[in-house]
Amino acid sequence: MFPSRTDPVPPRGRPGRRRAALGALSLAGACALVVASAAVVPAAGAEGTPGGRCHGYALPHVPGAAHQRADCLHELTTAGTVASGHTDPADFAGLTPEDLPTPSGVPGIQIDGYFPDTSTTNTNHGWNHDAQFVIRLPDRWNGGLVVSGTPANREQYANDRAISDWVLSRGYAFAATDKGNTGPAFYRDGRRPGDAIAEWNERVTQLTRAAGAVVTQRYHRPPARTLATGLSNGGYLVRWQLENHPELYDGGVDWEGTLWRADGPNPLTFLPPALRAYPVYAAGGAGAEDAWKAMREAGYPAGSEFLWPYHHKVYWDLTQRVYREEADPEFDGATEAGTPYCAPGTPGCDADYDYATRPPAVHRAVDRVALTGRIGKPLITLHGTLDALLPISRDSDVYARMVRQAGRGALLRYYRVEDGTHVDSLVDAFPDKLRPMVPCHRSAFEALERWLAGNGRPPADHTVRRPADADPATLLTSCPLA
């Protein structure tokens, strides 16, 4: 929640109840980027020891922050920040392949802090305070800024391996926010359904403005370009920012962003069918074929069946219950976030959830955070064809059509990545069936740089094929879009 809420807010409609722990959450996150078109500019005087004082100049001040701490570091990437305590590996665990190379040799300033907020789900630094952020300012700056919200309901360091390390090594300043609420019970933040997700959008906007001011203080000129990028919930934030605040950005890269639409599709329309059909499919027998057809009709792609057991165990059930609680807390009455793995027919069971028949108030809650397709700056979207959490046919395929129907098609490039899935760590388990998305994201980032610099428009929309003879090491570092 935002500082206009001055009093502690009780959980929506759930006063005085005991809440069971829900475990780890699912949907991943977003980030903002800046194009490296400016010459590399060394920033003098940024010497210091990890966690030490910065000598020779005044430290930047983050406008609007309630608390902030600046450290000069010999290494801003995870090659150094893990050991120095300037990141939290738990935030980014499971999001990237194990063998993803880690760049190094990026000294500079890291600013950690938080904006005024009354919720307390983020425990990083022992602050127990939400709206935490991190801003990293490399000594050798290329003129660009990357601003990011996080995937899932993770904290501010979640993008460090997938995005921050790489953009810092290229000279970008980088900023990320925890989005104002974290953890699987994020839906408790706010007074009414939809408040928690709505705050995500506001916090990214807030950080973008503040980070731009910090960059200007540090380097004595504003960023040449500011871009947005991120994955899953982070990709959603990219889309929302370019639709609602295009004046703050020059463009963005959307890595399989979550699609919210009041009339569907959205996660609450395609997750319940999976909860109903998958157990029947997995059990085999007479009903298995019909259950498989139901999964396909819900959007889960053919060829992704080997991913279904993992997603049933880790993602589908929890994701449905907590996001349904955010939009529709009355569905399960006095129960909070449903009953895990309940059988259809159980009272208040999310396997029986039918978004289309829920009251208008539920659709209004989703509409508060819905996307329109009316982007105002260039956007590159990429999505894996084997995404078994946000099926491509119910998400980015639909969003690309929305952009074109809104008359903004000239601002979009859309790439379907063959054999990509939602979380890159699954590539380690299935290297013969999946390809990592992270190098495709980096290729898209570079394509956006060239597009904005006037050095050629990206290739037309198409499916990026997986080379039949590519070895895993090559796929980890290469993903040509052409």
Is the preceding peptide bond at 265 cis, omega within 30 degrees of 0?
yes
User: CA-CA distance, 47 to 56, in Å (whole number)?
Assistant: 8
Amino acid residing at 201: N
Task: Give me 53's structure tokens.
Answer: 């004082």
User: CA-CA distance, 175 to 210, in Å (whole number)?
Assistant: 10
Residue 322: burial class (beta carbons within 10 Å; 0-12, 13-18, 19+):
buried
By residue count, the chain amounts to: 482
Task: Give me 131's structure tokens.
Answer: 């709206």
189 within 8 A of 121, measured Cβ to Cβ: yes
Residue indicated by tokens 């990509």: 420
The region, left, alpha or beta by phi > 0 then psi within -120 to 50, assigned to residue 160 is: alpha
The pLDDT value recorded for residue 8 is 32
CB contact burial 244-270 (16+ within 10 A = b; e otherwise)? bbbebbbbbbbbbbbbbbbebbbbbbb
Distances (CA, A) of 26 to 1, 127, 367: 21, 24, 22
How many Cα neighbours within 13 Å face the side chain of 230? 41
The pLDDT value recorded for residue 54 is 66
The pLDDT value recorded for residue 373 is 98
Q: What is the DSSP letter of 52?
A: B
The pLDDT value recorded for residue 10 is 36
The pLDDT value recorded for residue 24 is 37
- Rounded to two decimals, the pTM is 0.90
Distances (CA, A) of 177 to 139, 155, 158, 182, 204: 22, 7, 9, 11, 7
The pLDDT value recorded for residue 49 is 41
> At CB < 8 A and 24+ separation, what contacts does 404-411 make?
404/373, 405/373, 406/372, 406/373, 406/374, 406/375, 408/373, 408/374, 408/375, 408/376, 411/375, 411/376, 411/377, 411/378, 411/379
Alpha carbon of residue 380 to chain centroid = 15
76 within 8 A of 107, measured Cβ to Cβ: yes
Tens of each residue's pLDDT in the chain, 482 residues: 433 322 333 344 433 332 333 333 444 433 322 222 223 333 333 333 444 556 656 789 999 999 999 999 999 999 999 999 999 999 999 999 999 999 999 999 999 999 999 999 999 999 999 999 999 999 999 999 999 999 999 999 999 999 999 999 999 999 999 999 999 999 999 999 999 999 999 999 999 999 999 999 999 999 999 999 999 999 999 999 999 999 999 999 999 999 999 999 999 999 999 999 999 999 999 999 999 999 999 999 999 999 999 999 999 999 999 999 999 999 999 999 999 999 999 999 999 999 999 999 999 999 999 999 999 999 999 999 999 999 999 999 999 999 999 999 999 999 999 999 999 999 999 999 999 999 999 999 999 999 999 999 999 999 999 998 888 889 999 999 98
